[in-house]
Structure 1
Amino acid sequence: MEIKKDKDSRWFDVELVPESYIFSPTDRPQNLDVAICDSIPVIDLAKHIQPIESILKASQEFGFFQVINHGVPEKIMSDAMSVLKEFFHMPSKEATGYVPHNKGWIYTNNDCTKDGVHIWRENLKHLCHPLDKCTKLWPNKPTRYQEVIAAYLLEINKLSFRILEMICEGLGLEPGYLSDTSEVQILSSNFYPSCPDPSLTLGILAHQDTSLITLVYQGDSTGLQFLKDGQWINVGSIPNSFVVNIGNQLEIVSNGKLRSIDHRVVTSKDKTRISIATFVNPSYDCIIEPAKALVNKNEPSRYKASRYKEYVDRNKAFGDYTVALRDVVISES
């Protein structure tokens, strides 16, 4: 049955999931009523003793953890979420004007998987490094977008480098081993509208990040799932927390001691979801290999050395944003 839309309706204002958004039975989400995982580690960064051991244990067992009392002001987090809600709720005719991008950022509401199926989301992504040069190339609507997101990313820079330093210490690597060669390169914001039948489609297909770490702020919404022991498990929402997941590059650097695992986003029939993901990546020309301090006769290297750009080119998995954006010529024209 064809659904007739008025001129002000948007692509997701439908009574049935369009055929182009329906995944094959093997890719569709199963067990959507699975209980939210209450055992995923929640790590308090305000404790007097740095919770390094907890971070390492979580990174080994789950590949995911959440951090609270992280030092990012609540107002900066709420302002970032608010300005992105404004962006995604602008009238369709304005949002459509952002395609194709004309500077160094991309907005889309029709992402496709490798099989040509659309995913149920809208997405805005752009480069973040160097911050002072990238800011003016971001969207200028809403008018406060550049100011608010720049303030947010300054805090994310501090938090991500702090987490990387703790991981370095836990692995026995020298200070700065990771943070000196990493950048908060990309911000990817996602809007997942409510969906008539969440069992037929996905917000993001299962994938792993090619980052060192990824930090996600999801406000009070849920939908993020990770794979553990063959089961998809929901990541709960904790007020003012960040979800941190281990990327492929950190698994390589740790020589497999830390895990990068599959994750995805499911949709909801009743609720929308907005998330802000920031990808902390190696510099594009950085050589990534297991840290020499973690390789010995008993634990030989499990991964070949590779330039980060070449690794991404070889492993273009759905969910990676680096190549597409690095191929954009950044200019003010």
Structure 2
Amino acid sequence: MAAVAQNSSFVKALAENPTLKSIPSQFTFATDSKGSQSDSLPIIDFSLLTSPNPDQRCRVLADLDSACREWGFFILVNHGIPEKLLKAIIASSLEFFELPEEEKRRYEAKSASDPIKSGSGSLINTANQRVHLWRDFVKSYVHPEFNCPTEPHALRETLQEFSGKTRPVFRKLMHAIGENLGLEQGFVDEALKLDSCFQLYAANYYPPCPEPDQAIGIPAHTDHGLLTFLIHNGVAGLQIQHNGEWFDTFSPQNAILVNNADHLEILSNGRYKSVRHRAVVNTEATRISVVMANGAAPEAVVAPAPALVEKDGRPFYRPMKFIEYVETMLSNRLLGKSNLDCIKIQDE
């Protein structure tokens, strides 16, 4: 079976082999993948952020603050992005994974700064062994410059529209977050240069796995950027960590799962923590997730907001140019090593 894995750089081909009864050893990632269920995952009604009713708006701002502060995660409903578009981006992402291997292999990453990347991915564990992940992916930088694989044809137009529709939602959430943090109106736009905000599209393909407890889709990590948006094909698999415990996330149809990412933790000087999350796999169904990572402009230097530093007496994070952080993170293949840890300013 190891030979099958070596002949293909994509997990899809391996998973579709009818003789596969167990995973090849290079995929072994022992973890307890069970998550608890919670009926208290925060739900944010996006439409209320523009409510003419001041009480309603005040309540949703308080809910958003609580979600960012306590969970680092929320389920966004009534966001105004058409259901048809959400379905189309998942369908056209699936089409990419169904392309012939040689077409997908055109985008195998040669460096962290490649604007389009495809593959399955691996990392180095604490025993200095390379562990392969049970997923295939395609990633591309879609804003401020738009990049997209040439095939399938449907992906380009759909992705352009999806990127365009998610940006105003992201921006409005960031304005509300700035308000909650007590930052001056306009500060978030100006400091992060949100007109040129960075967006990275990532689609992940997790085929059924014969031994889901022995493999991992994506191990526990935090994201670069400010807020990550995620939608999926209805198959569960995203787990988030809350107070040291792992929780399964379930979302109503058409909702967007949103999590705090590293640069929101930096901007807020640690008030809103970047949430650890992971992707687990199952034996029955293929899971597809589509992610839009939303960040500051590539050239923006992200640092704790001066108004918050003044309140706290000092900054807890070093400033760093956004794109440098992203590329350092994308080239970091070490399990458990966090970029955020590297720019935290330790107590004297």
CA distance in structure 1 between the partners assigned to 2:2 and 2:123 by the alignment? 24
Distance 1:36 1:91, change over 3 A: farther
The aligned counterpart of 1:129 is 143
Offset at residue 234 of structure 1 (A) = 0.9
Offset at residue 289 of structure 1 (A) = 1.7
CA distance in structure 2 between the partners assigned to 1:313 and 1:93 by the alignment? 26
Q: Report the secondary structure of 1:10's partner residue.
A: helix
Report the more deviating stretch, 215-224 or 169-178.
169-178
The aligned counterpart of 1:72 is 81
Whether the aligned pair in 2 keeps the contact of 1:216 and 1:275 (CA below 8 Å) is: yes
Q: Among the aligned pairs, what percent are the same residue? A: 29
Offset at residue 57 of structure 1 (A) = 0.5
The aligned counterpart of 2:95 is 86
Q: Give the counterpart letter for 2:168 in structure 1.
A: K
Distance 1:95 1:284, change over 3 A: closer
| Superposed CA offset, 1:222-255 (max 9, x none) | 1111112221111113210111111111111111
1:45 aligns with 2:46: yes
Offset at residue 148 of structure 1 (A) = 0.9
Q: Report the secondary structure of 2:295's partner residue.
A: strand
TM-score by length of 1: 0.84
| Superposed CA offset, 1:36-77 (max 9, x none) | 332110111123333211111001101111100001111111
CA distance in structure 1 between the partners assigned to 2:322 and 2:312 by the alignment? 27
Q: Give the counterpart letter for 2:27 in structure 1.
A: Y
Whether the aligned pair in 1 keeps the contact of 2:262 and 2:274 (CA below 8 Å) is: yes
Distance 1:307 1:91, change over 3 A: closer
Distance 1:100 1:284, change over 3 A: closer
CA distance in structure 2 between the partners assigned to 1:293 and 1:222 by the alignment? 40
Offset at residue 161 of structure 1 (A) = 0.7
Q: Calculate the aligned-residue CA RMSD, in Å.
A: 2.8
| Superposed CA offset, 1:95-123 (max 9, x none) | 345446898311113x1112311101010
Q: Give the counterpart letter for 1:62 in structure 2.
A: W
The aligned counterpart of 1:328 is none
The aligned counterpart of 2:161 is 151
CA distance in structure 1 between the partners assigned to 2:328 and 2:149 by the alignment? 31
| 2:264 pairs with one of 247, 250, 253 | 250
Output aligned runs, 1:152-301, within 5 Å. Answer: 152-180=162-190, 181-182=193-194, 183-296=197-310, 299-301=313-315
CA distance in structure 2 between the partners assigned to 1:242 and 1:53 by the alignment? 19
Distance 1:95 1:305, change over 3 A: closer
CA distance in structure 2 between the partners assigned to 1:44 and 1:106 by the alignment? 34
Structure number with the higher helix fraction is 2
The aligned counterpart of 2:27 is 21
TM-score by length of 2: 0.81
Offset at residue 300 of structure 1 (A) = 3.4
Offset at residue 210 of structure 1 (A) = 1.9
Offset at residue 317 of structure 1 (A) = 4.8
CA distance in structure 1 between the partners assigned to 2:189 and 2:205 by the alignment? 30
CA distance in structure 1 between the partners assigned to 2:110 and 2:332 by the alignment? 22
The aligned counterpart of 2:119 is 108
Whether the aligned pair in 1 keeps the contact of 2:215 and 2:281 (CA below 8 Å) is: yes
Aligned length: 310
Whether the aligned pair in 2 keeps the contact of 1:38 and 1:236 (CA below 8 Å) is: no
Output aligned runs, 1:311-330, within 5 Å. Answer: 311-312=325-326, 317=332
| Superposed CA offset, 1:135-194 (max 9, x none) | xx4122211111111111111111111111111111111233234424142111111111
Whether the aligned pair in 2 keeps the contact of 1:219 and 1:240 (CA below 8 Å) is: no
Whether the aligned pair in 1 keeps the contact of 2:163 and 2:199 (CA below 8 Å) is: no
CA distance in structure 2 between the partners assigned to 1:159 and 1:228 by the alignment? 25
Whether the aligned pair in 2 keeps the contact of 1:3 and 1:15 (CA below 8 Å) is: no
CA distance in structure 2 between the partners assigned to 1:80 and 1:74 by the alignment? 10
